[in-house]
Amino acid sequence: MTHVTSIGLDVHARSVAACAFNLYTGEVTQRAFGTDAEEMASWIKTFEEPKAVYESGPTGFALCRRLRELGVDCIVGAVSKMQKPAADKRRKNDRRDAAFLARLLATRNVTEVWVPPLEVEAARDLSRALDDARIDLQRSRQRLSKFLLRRGHVFDEVDALGRKKGAWTRAFWRWAEGLRPQEKAAAHAFDHYVTCVRCAESDKRALERLVLAEARGERWKDRVGALASIKGIDVISAFSLVTEAGLFSRFPTAGSYASWVGITPSEHSSGEKEAWGGITKTGNGASRRILVESAWHYSSCSPKPKAAPTGYEVSRHIKSRADDATARLVRRRESLRAAGKRACVANVAVARELACWVWEIGRRAEGTLG
């Protein structure tokens, strides 16, 4: 949508600095606001054909949605795509940031961020809450195991066949309960660490049940079932990939999706010299973690097809493409191993190709490709 007045908003938790810039007259108007979106909208509407922008970040999309409801054309700009002058790093304040955004918008140098519908954002929040619970559980277990290690205790029981028993099993807890310290202070610390682990385990199980129930919703089940038909991706991982992307059709190519995930090679080329480095690791970290972890399955799995997830209906054509993905990725991992590539390098290469398969199968499930 064309506009005459560019409005830059430097948004903080409790304040907003605004700058209006008319590209044709050069007129600049600045003002400070609290968090009242209606007051901002009233001020913005006083200008000729206005359009507003603010940076993506921790403030999310609430202000953008509210301004749109009030009739203001507002977008969220990708902060990672904004090239700021080096001098601005030494002279930074809210007014200058707002003016910088207004000028970027006026010169059409803002990369717009997709604003997800509330239902998509809600499902994404649930998926991320489960990931937070996973991290909390991991940290709680580390604290307890290191507490026991400091006191000279290491779990190394074996079964009847001489195989080492896994940690955090019933056998582990029976062993750990017999190690409660005699000293009162240390006993309190031990009880605290045990309680943290137990609570974290309970929270993670509860959130897993909620995610599995949400994944069966009408909005998600087709794409979740399709992605979960690929080896290495279970229903929870598929749900996370789907909610993080929102819509796979918003990525025009598989390469653009891989770039958004941050799993494409970095480049340091100049003149006739071409130099490629590690992956960029920019973009959506949650999807990148899932893809990299899923890719490890292809170091040992067979190319045989995976059964569709229980309770999900997957079309024959999509299931066939998922089976093709599995077979192709197994061959890819074997060829990289034969070429002498390090395991971590080979795994990331497989994850990059897995991202492209996820994009294709996700779009087929949406009905926007083939």
Q: How far is CA 203 from CA 65, 143, 196, 197, 245, in A?
A: 32, 17, 10, 10, 25
Crossing angle of helices 62-69 and 37-44, in 10° steps, is 60
115 CA to centre of own chain: 15
Place of tokens 């940076």: 55
| Burial tier of 152 (Cβ tally within 10 Å: 0-12, 13-18, 19+) | exposed
In SS3 terms, 12-28 reads as CCCCEEEEEEECCCCCE
What residues does each domain of the chain span? 5-106, 118-215, 221-366
Give the closest residue to 245 by CA, choosing from 81, 76, 75, 120: 120
Structure tokens at 117: 């519908």
In 10 A of CB 251, how many CB atoms? 19
DSSP sequence for 149-216? HHTT-----B-TTSPBPPTTSHHHHHHHHTT--SSHHHHHHHHHHHHHHHHHHHHHHHHHHHHHHHHT
Give the closest residue to 216 by CA, choosing from 194, 247, 192, 242: 242
Domain at 5-106: CATH architecture: 2-Layer Sandwich (3.30)
In 10 A of CB 101, how many CB atoms? 28
State the pairing for strand pair 74-77/16-22: unpaired
Place of tokens 């209606």: 38
Could you give the CA distance from residue 50 to residue 70 in angstroms, rounded to a whole number? Answer: 13
Could you give the CA distance from residue 8 to residue 132 in angstroms, rounded to a whole number? Answer: 33
For residue 33, what is the enclosing H or E element? strand 28-33
Per-residue pLDDT, 1:
58
pTM beyond 0.75: the answer is yes
Cβ-contact 326, 231 below 8 angstroms: yes
Tens of pLDDT, residue by residue, the chain (370 residues): 579 999 999 999 999 999 999 999 999 999 999 999 999 999 999 999 999 999 999 999 999 999 999 999 999 999 988 888 777 777 889 999 999 999 999 999 999 999 999 999 999 999 999 999 999 999 999 999 999 999 999 998 888 888 888 899 999 999 999 999 999 999 999 999 999 999 999 999 999 999 999 999 999 999 999 999 999 999 999 999 999 999 999 999 999 999 999 999 888 888 888 888 889 998 899 999 999 999 999 999 999 999 999 999 999 999 999 999 999 999 999 999 999 999 999 999 999 999 999 999 999 999 998 6
Could you give the CA distance from residue 164 to residue 158 in angstroms, rounded to a whole number? Answer: 4
DSSP for residue 114: P
